[in-house]
Structure 1
Amino acid sequence: MQIQPDTKKLIELAHYRMPFGKYKGRFLVELPEPYLIWFQQKGFPEGKLGELLRAMTEIKINGLEGLIRKIQKDFPKQ
């Protein structure tokens, strides 16, 4: 069985910007890994932002930021 990522969700993740704090306005892929790990330890926010931060943490831990940057380039935000 092959796992197929949800393209729409990956595109949304690639273009989502941090809505608050020190990194407000930055793409989630630009957040430093220690910041994401801190969220992981303290608890991610509820809702969509929490889901996206959780996903970005896994992407960064596994060294897959290049995938997100390629999506940003290949699928510019409309």
Structure 2
Amino acid sequence: MNSEILLELVHFKMPFGKYKDRVIADLPEPYLVWYRQKGFPKGKLGMLLETMYEIKLNGLEYLLKPLRTQ
């Protein structure tokens, strides 16, 4: 896993929708599951959402805690 992607998960904010301006790492799991079912958007946002989905699915959120202060 690329550490730059992990850093982006704790800094990049959702640009639209119900969770606009919420950091990707703080999006609720049901929202990510919904995106998984509908299809992740193209580009960087889709890649970050899909990565966060996989992290939450596998219980790896602890990997992001040390990065939140950077």
TM-score above 0.5, yes or no = yes
Would you tell me which structure has more helix in proportion to its own residues? 2
Q: RMSD value over aligned CA atoms?
A: 1.0
Count of aligned pairs = 70
Residue in 2 aligned with 1:54?
A: 50
**TM-score by structure 2 length?**
0.90
Q: Which runs of 5+ in 1 are unaligned?
A: none
Q: Which has the larger radius of gyration?
A: 1
Matching residue of 1:14: 10
Unaligned runs of 5+ in 2: none
Question: Are 1:43 and 2:42 matched, yes or no?
Answer: no
What TM-score does the superposition give when structure 1 sets the normalisation length? 0.82
The share of aligned pairs that are identical, in percent, is 56
Separation (CA, whole Å) in 2 of partners of 1:55 and 1:36 = 10
